[in-house]
């Protein structure tokens, strides 16, 4: 099966974003993540999570406001400054729309995103119920 470009690239962004966002910044990390990369990572996580909620019928996930709130919380945990993310809503929406148009079978996308985004969605559900 031949996967489209977006389904090959987005999971890599998710892995970087989710794995990186779930780890606290260590004192030995000298190289800051460029602002554009921060926005791209968070936008990928937000878009993938919205896809799970709306296209994969994950009714256990909270609404968009909580998804964005937790994404900002994760950014702060990484030592990033979410106030610099003016383009995040537009970028995450553009990625979400790309995912909805992508021709990869829905079941494949849902399965991949469920696996890749599990740490983030676990945190979301905890936040949504608190």
What is the per-residue pLDDT for 46? 97
What is the per-residue pLDDT for 24? 56
Give pTM, 2 decimals.
0.77
Task: Give the H or E element holding residue 121.
Answer: helix 118-128
Q: What is the pLDDT along the chain (130 residues), one digit of tens a residue?
A: 445 645 555 555 555 555 555 555 554 455 788 999 999 999 999 999 999 999 999 999 999 999 999 999 999 999 998 888 889 999 999 999 999 999 999 999 999 999 999 999 998 988 766 5
What is the per-residue pLDDT for 25? 52
What is the per-residue pLDDT for 27? 47
Q: Give the span between the Cα atoms of 11 and 93, in whole angstroms.
A: 17
Q: In whole angstroms, how far apart are CA 39 and each of 28, 31, 42, 58, 91?
A: 23, 17, 5, 24, 8
Q: Give the span between the Cα atoms of 11 and 117, in whole angstroms.
A: 9
Whether the Cβ atoms of residue 42 and residue 75 lie closer than 8 Å to each other: yes
What is the per-residue pLDDT for 29? 55
Q: Give the span between the Cα atoms of 125 and 122, in whole angstroms.
A: 5
| Tokens 């690239």 belong to residue | 9
> How many Cβ atoms from other residues are within 10 Å of residue 99's Cβ?
20
- The CATH homologous superfamily to which domain 5-17+33-128 belongs is Chaperone lipoprotein PulS/OutS (1.20.58.1630)
């Amino acid at each position: 099966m031949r996967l489209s470009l977006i389904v090959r690239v987005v999971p890599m962004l998710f892995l970087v974003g989710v794995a990186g966002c779930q780890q606290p910044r260590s004192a030995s990390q000298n190289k800051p993540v460029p602002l554009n990369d921060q926005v791209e990572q968070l936008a990928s996580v937000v878009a993938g999570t919205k896809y799970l909620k709306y296209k994969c019928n994950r009714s256990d996930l909270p609404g968009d406001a909580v998804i964005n709130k937790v994404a900002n919380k994760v950014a702060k945990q990484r030592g990033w400054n979410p106030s610099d993310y003016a383009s995040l809503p537009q970028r995450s929406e553009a990625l979400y729309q790309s995912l909805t148009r992508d021709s990869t079978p829905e079941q494949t996308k849902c399965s991949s995103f469920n696996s890749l985004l599990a740490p983030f969605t676990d945190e979301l559900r905890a936040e949504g119920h608190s």
